[in-house]
Structure 1
Amino acid sequence: MEKEMAEVYCGNGRGKTTLAIGQALRASSQGKSVIIIQFLKGNERRELDFLEELDQLDIKIFRFEKMETCYDQLNEEEQAEEKRNILNGLNFARKVIATQECDFLVLDEILGLLDKHIATVDMVTELLKQKDESMHIILTGNRVDQGLLDYVDRVTTITTLERDKMPLV
C-alpha cells in the first residue's frame, strides 16, 4: 500500500479550497471515502453541497458553524458561540483520524483557526500525529505555521500577483 501524505495548500491566492476539492474528487473517483470539514466559512456556504448528491462518489461534507455569516463578521458574543462550534469540529476531525473513518480528509481553512487564535499549533499537530499512513490529509489556509512543517509532507503555496508585478519570462 502506498504511504499517503499530509499536505498544506496555503498562500494569499484564491483557489486553495478548489484545489483541495479537486483532489478529493479524484480520490473519491478512485474508490476512496472522503470527508471534508470546513471551518470559518459560516453556514451559508453551500457551494459544495452538490458533491454529496453525486451517488457514485463517497464524499461527506461537515460544517460545525451555526451562524449564516462568516466568523469575522460576527460580534464578540456570536464569535464566542461559534468558537465552541468550531472546536466541536476539531474534535470531530480528531475522531475521524483516530477511527480511520475515511481515506481522504480535507480540513478546509483549518490554518485560519491558528491566525484567529481559535486553535493552537499544538492542537493541529496532535491531529497530524494521529494520522496513519493510509490516510491522506489536506489542510488549507492563508499561512502555514512553522510548527506544522515537521508534520506535513508537502506545502503548496498559491500566490496572486498583480499584473504589473508579474515576472517576465
Structure 2
Amino acid sequence: MGKKIIYYGSGKGKSMAALGFAVQYAGLGESVDVIQCLKTKNINETNFLQRLEPEIKMFRFEKSECSFEDLSQEEKQEEKINIKNGLNFAKKVLCTGECTMLVLDEALGLIDEGIVDAEEIIDILQAGNEDTSVIITGRNMCEKLRDYVDEIYRIDVEK
C-alpha cells in the first residue's frame, strides 16, 4: 500500500530523504517520477540525478535558472504557468498509473509563494490509487495537508 509523506523543516536533507525513498522504490522495480519545484538549476546536481534515469525520472518544469524570488513579476508569471503545467503532469501520471511513486520536491514552497493553494496539492495527494506513494518536501508545513498524509517528518537543525 502506498503512503503519502511530508518532509518539512528548516534543516537540510528533506530532498535527500525523499530521494532515498525513491531509490528504494526503484530498486524494487517500481517506477518513480521526481518533480523539482522552486529549485535553482544546479548543473552538477542535475547531471548526477539524470544518471538515475530511466529508473527514476527527473522533471523540472521551470525554465529559469534563477531562484523564483529573484525573478521579475513578469518572469514569475511565466514560471507560475510552467509550474502549474508541472502539477498537471503530476496529477496525470498518478491518475494513469504511470508511476508508483511521485516526489514533489519543494512543493510546500509553492503554497508559501502563493503559486498554488493547499487544495491543489490535496488534489494531487488524492489522485492515483491506494498503491501509489507521494512524497512532498518543503520548509513550512501547511496544516491543511495534515489530514491527507500518512506520515509527517520534521527536519530541523538542533545545533
TM-score by length of 1: 0.88
- Give the SS at the match of 2:45: coil
Q: Are 1:94 and 2:91 counterparts? A: yes
**What is the deviation of 1:44?**
4.1
Show structure 1 runs of 5+ residues with no match.
Answer: 163-169
- Give 1:61's aligned amino acid: M
Structure 2 stretches lacking a partner, 5+ long: none
1:11-90 equivalences in 2 (<5 Å): 11-44=9-42, 46-54=44-52, 58-90=55-87
Instruction: Specify the code of the residue in structure 1 equivalent to 2:104.
Output: L
Task: Give secondary structure in 2 for the equivalent of 1:9.
Answer: strand
Q: 1:54 to 1:124 in 2, by over 3 A?
A: closer
RMSD of equivalent CA atoms = 1.5
Identity %: 42
CA radius of gyration, larger in:
1
Residue 89 of structure 1, CA deviation? 0.6
Q: TM-score, normalised by structure 2?
A: 0.93
Question: What CA distance in whole angstroms lies between the structure 1 residues aligned with 2:128 and 2:5?
Answer: 12
1:140 and 2:153 matched: no
For residue 82 of structure 2, give the secondary structure of its aligned residue in structure 1. helix
CA distance in 2, matches of 1:4, 1:49: 29
When residues 12 and 54 of structure 1 are mapped into structure 2, their CA distance, relative to the original with a 3 A threshold, is closer
Which of 100, 109, 113 pairs up with 1:112?
109
CA deviation profile, 1:49-86 (whole Å, cap 9, x unmatched): 4343347x611000000011111111111111111111
The worse-fitting range, judged by mean Cα deviation, of 151-160 and 129-138 is 129-138
SS in 2 for 1:8: strand
Runs of 4+ deviating beyond 3 Å:
42-46
Which deviations, in whole Å up to 9, do the C-alpha atoms of 1:93-120 show, x marking residues without a partner? Answer: 1111111111111000111000000000
Measured after TM superposition, the shift of residue 8 of structure 1 is: 0.2
Change beyond 3 A, Cα 1:60–1:68: same
Cα pair 2:22 2:101 within 8 Å, conserved: yes
Counterpart AA for 1:65? E
User: Residues 135 and 46 from structure 1, CA distance in 2 versus in 1: closer, same or farther, beyond 3 angstroms?
Assistant: farther
Number of aligned pairs? 159
